[in-house]
Structure 1
């Protein structure tokens, strides 16, 4: 009985299962739904994988057909390959040019072990900043510079290391074959080849920067920029200035040669200077060498000084041009002048009446003060303004200093300015004004670009009478033969000039034991072609132990003229007593 009941229940269960089948033998109900969902999911998964693999395959085919490029997917400065024009001297000698180089970059997202990369790079790159480089490599960015402008050997050595995730990018680098010889004139560029100083900056200001910004200078050979300077003469002038700074234990020295008929700057040097190939230096501890960067300061055009007794040239010219004096005028210089609580006295007084040539020869403060008083304050100020000594100089050179003068001119100001105290101007500006005194009376703005006499005539401006200029040539010649200019005399070249020894202004006060010395000269004085101005800042000694301009700046001028006159096309002439004048040709 029990067995019969078990068999009936088994049959009933079987009939329920069979009832759950749909016609055709398919399973219906919740089991069927689960089956359909599983099949749908599987189909979608297969489709997704198929699409992904097709996309990857298509991209691989695209990359395979594209041109290979090391930095094609990396964002960088698109102007780095821009060309700059060569800079040449007046004779076509190269002063600055572009060279091709490479820079090292990293793709931090592809760097596996930053520590290993830093260690390897340090074996090739000197002074590598481990901490900064490690930070860059772990930044997770797409691009980081590691070192700009490598040498070919450094590039080769890094390639040999086989480091993944780093690469090289071609760039332009500025190269200056002469190094520091003309650094203050030519200037320098930054790491991106943009002009920062000197004529390099001037080139950018003339439209090059705009052309570069729109990509019109890339891989384009630009017309060279020719300057007025003569590299041969420039090298000599700088060498003499550097030697004077060392020999005289001076803080600085400088010199400029100016064509009096065109205003062209033939040479200009200011030492200490710097190498534009290496505008800054890094010390062993990683800090910037501030002493080296002091060489950036151009004392000839970007600094103002009280030029001392060289200003007596302008005071005498002022008196002559205003017809308050003539070469035969005699001025009483026997006693000091007392004015407004100040006493004006001569450095080495003669304590007697002096003629105008003697006032120039003996550099009499009393005599020049008298002349300034005769002209008057307004006339004095107007004359110096006419000579361009009270306003900023107009020239291509960026970074030109503006002269300083008293806010209100009083009589005591006019008197002290007459002998070079109380007004500060640039040495180059002083040379330009001196050129106007001896070239017939025409003020010509200085230029660092070639200029013809015809072009100079367009920009020149008559500032004194021709007779005044002739009188000044006489006074310069007189002082060159009888006065302090004897220390600059070069046999055969008839050098005339005027010394200037001024107490240097430090923290607003005159230092009695520190001088700023200058000498302005013209040659040959019978038909002047060039002006030479030399400066020596704070010398501790000089020729025969003296510290004045006659013992420092004047000997510099002598050496400059002796070494460069022939290169400048000036022929010496020697007049032998009892015989006709003889011209000697080299």
Structure 2
């Protein structure tokens, strides 16, 4: 029995050991299986992550583009006109947001202007990256960081800043929230080269080569101030001006009022005195009947054709009839006038006869020759095609000779005036710095040097004895010459004598021409009871005040010698 008992106990112990061994082996197998499952899961996740393309965009815009910088824009003297500043922008990864409601409430303590429902929708879901608020201050960035909300982060992007504010707004244009140019030189830079730089990631950082414009900020400021003064002084609805180097084609100043603040581009779309969409660039995209300033063009074409001489005379005793219409002079002399008298008295009758001596078809061809019927090649994208009839009837040719019946931009006019005083060489205008040697490669002869000399004489004569005398009195000593134009505006289907456009197209100094200028004042009123409303009283005076200020800046010294004016007189008239 004892043996049996011992044997039974032995069998029992052996069974227990076997049972525990099987359990241990089973546990080991489960642990190994669990470990294999864990490793398989981790491995699979690693494979998945390795195969996943990292989202490097925020709402479809690549981060390289978002963080890209634009080149600084400088004036011709190296003064900053546009620079980039680095600003933080807040974005979220909704899939990492743990508690959406908590995140919404906390964020609105720092950014109370965010709409609660909008923010809740932005933070909900499994999206990658979404914008919450762009272009914040460092102080706001720090407050958001202190909230400790997972799934929120910042990216440092560039914001464009314009130190001069609105003064050069139509030159510079503006950029959108993604720092991409939308108008002006900013858009031209993108269209020309910056977009390519950004696409290859080379436009990051602050090591971009600055872009130097032809603009002289001193001249720009002077023109801007005088045009702002003109709006108030003459109670005008708009004003504009452009100054161009006649030898290089460089634009030294370009101002159009009303303007906008490029630091806040939405101001471009604000109403001005109750008028919508009135803040456009009147120099490039405004086309107008420029009135008697066109007589300079008519005279240049006629004299250069050889069919009219500076010594010729024309009968201006009676108006010119076309059917039941008669064209007369505003202040007619009603006598026979010489070519210089036709110009200085601004005789419509005489100008029509000059054009007719040239021939209406030749006159129309001359307008094509000087580019009046096509947009001016220019960097600013805000351009509008001029309206010049393809063929001239007798009456259209007659009215066009003194600036009615066709519409061109002030940029067309300043380019033409520059050519007429630059020995007849028309140069392509530009917003970028250019040497005279480079400019000469773009020269197109449009009139002869002898015609240019006679046009300079006529322009100076008008300043001394014609409608430019008020301008000349203000800018005395700087040998300015030019032509006024007072054009009645079309209201409905007819011309209005109450609404006029005043223009003065000039050049200086005419003894050695260097700069051309066109000033426009829209719907000017009398400054006082003793003054008038024609261009000599407003656009002319503005021109004089601008020349008085900018000529010394440009190295032009006053000279009151009568010898300089007498030397401009053609030998046939001395």
TM-score relative to the length of structure 1: 0.84
Find the partner of 1:148 among 107, 127, 134: 134
Find the partner of 2:483 among 484, 498, 521: 498
> Which stretch shifts more, 173-182 or 376-385?
173-182
* Map 1:443-458 → 2, pairs under 5 A: 443-458=426-441
C-alpha deviation, 1:127, in angstroms: 4.3
| Cα distance, 1:109–1:44 mapped onto 2, change above 3 Å | farther
Determine whether 1:472 maps to 2:458: no
Question: Which residue number corresponds to residue 388 of structure 2?
Answer: 405
Find the partner of 2:266 among 267, 275, 280: 280
* Map 1:177-576 → 2, pairs under 5 A: 177-219=163-205, 221-281=207-267, 289=270, 291=272, 294=277, 296-489=279-472, 490-507=475-492, 509-542=494-527, 544-575=530-561
Q: Is the 8 A contact 2:372 2:386 kept in 1?
A: yes
What is the CA deviation profile of residues 267-286 of structure 1, one whole-angstrom value per residue up to 9, with x for unaligned ones? 1111111121211159xxxx
What is the CA deviation profile of residues 435-494 of structure 1, one whole-angstrom value per residue up to 9, with x for unaligned ones? 111121111111111122222221101111111111111111111011111121111112
Q: Is the 8 A contact 1:108 1:142 kept in 2?
A: yes
Q: Is the 8 A contact 2:55 2:128 kept in 1?
A: no
What is the CA deviation profile of residues 10-68 of structure 1, one whole-angstrom value per residue up to 9, with x for unaligned ones? xxxxxxxxxxxxxx999xxxxxxxxx9x9999999766654565578899999xxxxxx
Q: Is the 8 A contact 1:279 1:293 kept in 2?
A: no
| Cα distance, 1:48–1:189 mapped onto 2, change above 3 Å | farther
Q: Is the 8 A contact 2:364 2:391 kept in 1?
A: no
* Map 1:90-105 → 2, pairs under 5 A: 90-105=76-91
What is the CA deviation profile of residues 313-366 of structure 1, one whole-angstrom value per residue up to 9, with x for unaligned ones? 111112211222222222111211110332211111122222212211121111
Gaps in structure 1 of 5+ consecutive residues: 1-23, 27-35, 63-71, 283-287, 582-586
What is the CA deviation profile of residues 44-93 of structure 1, one whole-angstrom value per residue up to 9, with x for unaligned ones? 9766654565578899999xxxxxxxxx8664323212222211111111
Q: Is the 8 A contact 1:318 1:380 kept in 2?
A: yes
For 1:539 and 1:491, locate their aligned partners in 2 and report how far apart those are by CA, in whole Å: 24
For 1:139 and 1:251, locate their aligned partners in 2 and report how far apart those are by CA, in whole Å: 52
For 2:231 and 2:116, locate their aligned partners in 1 and report how far apart those are by CA, in whole Å: 40
Moved over 6 A (4+): 38-45, 55-62
For 1:510 and 1:125, locate their aligned partners in 2 and report how far apart those are by CA, in whole Å: 55
Q: Is the 8 A contact 1:303 1:426 kept in 2?
A: yes
Determine whether 1:81 maps to 2:67: yes
For 1:207 and 1:87, locate their aligned partners in 2 and report how far apart those are by CA, in whole Å: 14
1:174 partner SS: strand
What is the CA deviation profile of residues 167-222 of structure 1, one whole-angstrom value per residue up to 9, with x for unaligned ones? 21111222222122212112222222222212222222222212211223233622
Equivalent residues, number: 532
Q: Is the 8 A contact 1:516 1:535 kept in 2?
A: yes
Question: Which residue number corresponds to residue 51 of structure 2?
Answer: none
* Map 1:127-146 → 2, pairs under 5 A: 127-146=113-132
For 1:502 and 1:324, locate their aligned partners in 2 and report how far apart those are by CA, in whole Å: 28
Q: Is the 8 A contact 1:111 1:164 kept in 2?
A: yes
| Cα distance, 1:41–1:549 mapped onto 2, change above 3 Å | farther
* Map 1:23-42 → 2, pairs under 5 A: none
C-alpha deviation, 1:509, in angstroms: 4.0
| Cα distance, 1:281–1:49 mapped onto 2, change above 3 Å | farther
> Which stretch shifts more, 293-302 or 436-445?
293-302
C-alpha deviation, 1:418, in angstroms: 0.3
Gaps in structure 2 of 5+ consecutive residues: 1-13, 17-21, 48-53, 568-574
| Cα distance, 1:143–1:367 mapped onto 2, change above 3 Å | same
Question: Which residue number corresponds to residue 65 of structure 1?
Answer: none
Q: Is the 8 A contact 2:69 2:158 kept in 1?
A: yes
For 1:290 and 1:141, locate their aligned partners in 2 and report how far apart those are by CA, in whole Å: 39
> Which stretch shifts more, 503-512 or 42-51?
42-51
C-alpha deviation, 1:133, in angstroms: 2.8
For 1:487 and 1:120, locate their aligned partners in 2 and report how far apart those are by CA, in whole Å: 67
| Cα distance, 1:410–1:487 mapped onto 2, change above 3 Å | same
For 1:518 and 1:91, locate their aligned partners in 2 and report how far apart those are by CA, in whole Å: 30
For 2:25 and 2:534, locate their aligned partners in 1 and report how far apart those are by CA, in whole Å: 104
For 1:351 and 1:214, locate their aligned partners in 2 and report how far apart those are by CA, in whole Å: 70
TM-score relative to the length of structure 2: 0.85
Q: Is the 8 A contact 1:274 1:293 kept in 2?
A: no
1:395 partner SS: coil
For 2:451 and 2:547, locate their aligned partners in 1 and report how far apart those are by CA, in whole Å: 25
For 1:407 and 1:382, locate their aligned partners in 2 and report how far apart those are by CA, in whole Å: 10
* Map 1:6-45 → 2, pairs under 5 A: none
Q: Is the 8 A contact 1:393 1:429 kept in 2?
A: yes
| Cα distance, 1:154–1:205 mapped onto 2, change above 3 Å | same
What is the CA deviation profile of residues 140-184 of structure 1, one whole-angstrom value per residue up to 9, with x for unaligned ones? 422211111112222123223333332211112222221222121
| Cα distance, 1:49–1:551 mapped onto 2, change above 3 Å | farther
